Structure 1
Amino acid sequence: MHEILVISGKGGAGKTTVTGAFAHLSENAILCDLDVDAPDFHLISQPEKYQDHEFWSGYEASIRQDDCVQCGECLTRCRFDAIKLDNGRYVVDPLKCEGCKVCVALCPAEAIDFELKKCGEWYRSETRFGNLVHAQLYPGEENSGRLVALLKDEARKTAKEHGHEILLADGAPGIGCPVISSLSGTDLAVFVTEPTPSGLHDLERVAALCDHFRVKGCVVINKYDLNTDMTDKIESFCTQHGYPVVGRVPHSDAVTAAMVERKTVTEFDSVMYTAFAGIWNNVLLQL
């Protein structure tokens, strides 16, 4: 089985539009939304969940009031201001607690518990394009990289069960922890960029990240016709560094119209279908 990851150096470049088109065009792929902080692939794939799982990761302190001796040692020691006085009682603010365990270790009364916390949920679903593995991390929670790794493992299991030949993943924006985690086991990263100075800059950094982890990459230039001079600069960069440009996507109002209808652009517009069909074939050739 081959693993294809669609990423970009920033949000809003068109990753999900590209992934949705690929999902529509692929014949036997397991789908995976790895943007666990702000997932949006479900908006166009309209999944029907058949499995719902809790995601537990990291720890959080909590003070047992019956055992607390009101010494204030936890308040003094906490570097994250997660301990506060509330009506004369010392309590933990869960939004500020970083799970460092200092308060637990230094409490003279041993009155602070350190419990595993529920950080989010992950799901197996059916879509009109096939099986989808996706998740939602709760606001402000960490361990997104660990959740991404879990999703990829579960997607591989589902692929093995159903005989899928390709794992197609919609990655997170940027170059942070969830993107690094999503690169593990990836055969090909598809970089989606736009013809702007910031688009080129973000392409450079996400390409450097893939080079560091020795993941092969290719490039899709979205809305290439809005600035052809910048498109030429991006293609020149790609030529110099050996990143194949597998396709150019024209600017089209059909993208927004398709989103409103909760469809992929290839389901909505025949011109975009033809454009993405060629791009998808070029991606498969890179494998």
Structure 2
Amino acid sequence: MKQLAIVSGKGGTGKTTLSSSFGVLLKNVVLADCDVDAANLNLMFSGEIKEKYDYYGGKKAVIDQTKCDKCGICKKVCRFEAIGFKNEKYDVDQFACEGCNACVIACPRNAIRLETALSGEYYYSVTTNEKEIIHANLNPGEETSGGLVAEVRKLALNKATEEKKEVVLIDGAPGIGCPATSSIVAVNYVIIVTEPTSSGLHDLKRIVETVRHFRREFGVVINKYDLNPSMTKEIKNYCISDGIEILGEIPFDDVVEKSNLETKPVVNYENSIAAKAIKEIFGKVIKKLY
């Protein structure tokens, strides 16, 4: 079984456009959307949720009102302003609490404890054309996105093993934070999607450093390369000087917007110039995997 991750140094580069297209082109595949803060890969395929799992990640403070003597020490030590006084009692705002344990240690009455909290959900969905997708939803304000990504990948691997799939395709989280690193560890190959802007180049350099830190083989795709030829040249010069393989360039294409509005991967549109470029990139990546 091979694991292929598609990532980007910043959001909005076209990572999911490429991921959904690869999801169509790969026949024996399980898809895993690891952008748990804003999952959208499943929106590009019509289907239904078959299985749902709760994800318990971080911990939250809980005040035992029978022990609390309303001294207010907990409110003073909470740097996140998660403890308030209302209706003659101190209580914890679960959205603001970071589970840092300061209030638990400071409470002279031992009236506060940390409890594992429900941080989100993750799902196993099957599309109308029999594609299998693992995706998730992290609750607002939660900080355990890396752990939820790990659960998504674990379920994807289990399903791929059960169904004897050849590839797990990961639509990774953007950036270089914990969910992004959780998206790329132990994969066989990484595709980095960038765009011809100054911020695109800046964040490309950061994600390249991150992928190299984990010693993963990778290549770069420049999306909408023809919108800014001078910046595209700068990105290509950077890649060449740093020994980075450029897998291909995808032109700007109005059909991509149409495909997003119709929630269909762009490779389903025969008149799409972007689809043609994506298919050529796909051919190169398959050779990398095998």
Q: CA–CA distance in 1 between the matches of 2:245 and 2:130?
A: 27
Give the C-alpha shift of residue 129 in structure 1.
5.7
**Aligned-partner Cα distance in 1 for 2:267–2:222:** 17
| Aligned twin of 1:283 | 285
Structure 1 unmatched runs, 5+: none
Partner of 1:144: 145
Letter in 2 for 1:32: A
Say if 2:42 and 2:133, in contact at 8 Å, map to a contact too: no
After TM superposition, list the pairs within 5 Å mapping 1:189-268 onto structure 2: 189-268=190-269
Q: In the alignment, which residue of structure 2 is the partner of 1:273?
A: 275
- Three-state SS of the structure 1 residue aligned to 2:18 is helix
Aligned partner letter, 2:121 = E
Alignment of 1:68-217 (within 5 A): 68-127=68-127, 128=129, 130-217=131-218
Structure 2 CA distance, aligned partners of 1:39 and 1:230?
Answer: 29
d(CA) in 1 for partners of 2:40, 2:241: 34
User: In the aligned structure 2, how far is the partner of 1:71 from the partner of 1:227?
Assistant: 62
| In 2, Cα distance between equivalents of 1:227 and 1:69 | 64
Contact 2:6–2:15 at 8 Å: present in 1 too? yes
**Which moved further from structure 2: 25-34 or 97-106?**
97-106
Structure 1 residue 89, shift from structure 2 partner: 1.1
CA distance in 1, matches of 2:124, 2:271: 31
Aligned-partner Cα distance in 2 for 1:204–1:135: 28
**Aligned Cα root-mean-square deviation (Å):** 1.3
- Distance (Å, rounded) in 1 between the aligned partners of 2:199 and 2:58: 35
Partners of 1:262 and 1:96 in 2: how far apart? 35
TM-score, structure 1 length as denominator? Answer: 0.96
The answer to whether the Cα contact below 8 Å between 1:8 and 1:193 also exists between their aligned partners in 2 is: yes
TM-score (norm 2): 0.95
Shift of 1:110: 1.9
Instruction: Find the residue that maps to 2:172 and give its secondary structure.
Output: strand
Between the aligned partners of 2:233 and 2:82, the Cα distance in structure 1 is: 51
Q: 1:188: how far off?
A: 1.0
User: Does the alignment pair 1:67 with 2:72?
Assistant: no
1:109-159 CA-to-partner distances (Å, cap 9, x unmatched) read 222232110000000111236111110001111110011111111111111
Mean Cα deviation higher: 27-36 or 105-114: 105-114
CA–CA distance in structure 2, aligned partners of residues 286 and 232 of structure 1: 25
* Other-structure match for 1:29: 29
Please list the CA deviations of residues 85-126 of structure 1 after superposition, one character each: whole Å capped at 9, or x if unmatched: 112211112122110122223322222232110000000111
Moved >4 Å (runs of 4+) = none
In structure 2, give the amino acid aligned to 1:35: D
> Mind listing any 5+ residue stretches in structure 2 that lack a counterpart?
none
Residue identity over aligned pairs, in percent, reads 43
Once the two structures are TM-superposed, the CA of residue 53 in structure 1 deviates from its matched residue by 0.6
More divergent stretch after superposition (112-121 vs 239-248): 239-248
Contact 1:8 1:191 (C-alpha < 8 Å) held by counterparts:
yes
- Secondary structure of 1:172's match? coil
The AA in structure 1 aligned to 2:265 is T
Equivalent residue, structure 1, for 2:55: 55
Q: How many residues align?
A: 287
Secondary structure in structure 2 of the residue aligned to 1:273: helix
**Alpha-carbon separation, structure 1, partners of 2:47 and 2:10:** 25
Give the AA of the match of 2:286: L
Q: CA deviation at 1:80?
A: 2.0
1:191 Cα deviation after fit: 0.7
